[in-house]
Amino acid sequence: MTTIMNRAVYLGGVKGVGKTALLKSLKNRIAYTIVDPPSEMLEYVTSDARDQLDELSATDRISARSRAFERILSAQYFQEIIIDGHFSLSTDYGHEWAIPKNSISRLGPFILITADPARILERRIKDDDRQRDVSNLAEIRLDMEIERLYAIFVSEVTGRPLYIVENNDFATARGLLLRVLSNLIKQGNHE
């Protein structure tokens, strides 16, 4: 088993696209620690349910996210990490950055997981483990478009690569993600 070196790999995508399931399926194939920003944010808020983080005020949500990212990124010097997150978040007031701006330069490369919006809607409806916004296809398409734009932006700003993995077929997506992560390991860094 080999490890990923140097920077935190950031894997993002809209809710229900299958990011966490893909990463968990590869856990025994590549040595890394999966870090989930919403779970880390719970350390800094009174709620103990990650699905209630969306209900925080924008100020509290941004503060908790910044503190969680600082903690996550300080851990990367002791372990190889992949951050399982989002590039943007849909709120009642529009979309906001899911990555604190002061953390962007310390991340990369970036991986965006995409899928057919109908499959995402189906996954959200069937997910009994989480309280998910079910949404509708038009909202999912908009969220996916904005997620892609944010992902392209962070890749461009940092000069680090953005890989896109389509998750319409789990086995195919798993194989592609494994190939991307294996290539990063072979490079020995994320530049």
Total tally of structural domains belonging to the chain = 1
Predicted pLDDT at 14: 94
Domain boundaries, position 51: 8-187
Q: Report the candidate in 161, 178, 187, 182 with the shortest Cα–Cα distance to residue 23.
A: 178
Task: Give domain status of residue 155, yes or no.
Answer: yes
- The verdict on residue 120 lying in a domain is yes
CATH code of the domain covering residue 175: 3.40.50.300
CA distance 19 to 10: 11
Q: Does the pLDDT value for residue 165 go beyond 80? A: yes
In a domain, 99, yes or no: yes
Read off the pTM.
0.84
Residues 6+ apart with CB under 8 A from 4: 30, 31, 32, 80, 82, 181, 184, 185, 190
Inside any domain, residue 2: no
pLDDT at 162 over 80: yes
Comparison of pLDDT for 19 and 3, the residue scoring more: 19
Lowest mean pLDDT among 72-76, 84-88, 132-136: 132-136
